[in-house]
């Protein structure tokens, strides 16, 4: 998938991904969805598999558009995460900016990520160890309480 990607770090634990999917890919995915729908759609007045595209668009257009956009967002998000080596902690907040079937799809995803933790050198740090001596009187007192 050819994507335009912009990754911006908001703060140490969040980043924003701006992704743009070209119109050709949105159109191709839309064509596949309508072809699959045409094979199984049952519309009164038409034989199964023979429903014109205009009728399908009028009856199922919003549902097909939502399914296509959801599938494209899911695929592109997974690709961006893998490509930029981002480790998300939870589900992203997705905002669509431009979503038209003849045009492309543009969205922003804000995701929480694992912070980069830098461990300072700890070798050579002196720690005072406190010892509590146990006497026979302490053991006898404890056993008496039991």
pLDDT tens per residue, range 135-145: 999 999 999 99
> Is the model's pLDDT at 37 over the cut of 80?
yes
CB-based contact 35:11 (threshold 8 Å): no
Instruction: Extract the runs of DSSP E, i.e. beta strands, from the chain.
Output: 4-11, 14-21, 93-99, 105-112
| Mean per-residue pLDDT, 36-53 | 85
Rg (CA), the chain: 30
What is the average pLDDT across 6-34? 92
Single pTM value for the model: 0.74
What pLDDT sits at residue 71? Answer: 94
User: What's the pLDDT score for residue 101?
Assistant: 64
Q: How confident is the model at residue 6 (pLDDT cuts 50, 70, 90)?
A: very high
Residue range 70-93: mean pLDDT, rounded: 94
């Amino acid at each position: 998938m050819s994507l335009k990607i912009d990754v911006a770090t908001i703060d140490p634990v969040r980043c924003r991904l701006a992704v743009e999917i070209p119109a050709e890919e949105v159109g191709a995915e839309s064509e596949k969805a309508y072809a699959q729908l045409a094979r199984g759609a049952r519309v009164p007045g038409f034989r199964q598999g023979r429903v014109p595209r205009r009728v399908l668009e009028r009856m199922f257009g919003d549902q097909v558009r939502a399914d296509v956009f959801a599938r494209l967002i899911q695929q592109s998000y997974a690709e961006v995460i893998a490509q930029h080596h981002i480790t998300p902690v939870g589900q992203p907040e997705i905002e669509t900016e431009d979503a038209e079937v003849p045009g492309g799809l543009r969205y922003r995803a804000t995701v929480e990520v694992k912070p980069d933790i830098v461990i300072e050198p700890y070798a050579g740090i002196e720690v005072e160890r406190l010892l509590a001596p146990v006497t026979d009187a302490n053991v006898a007192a404890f056993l008496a309480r039991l």
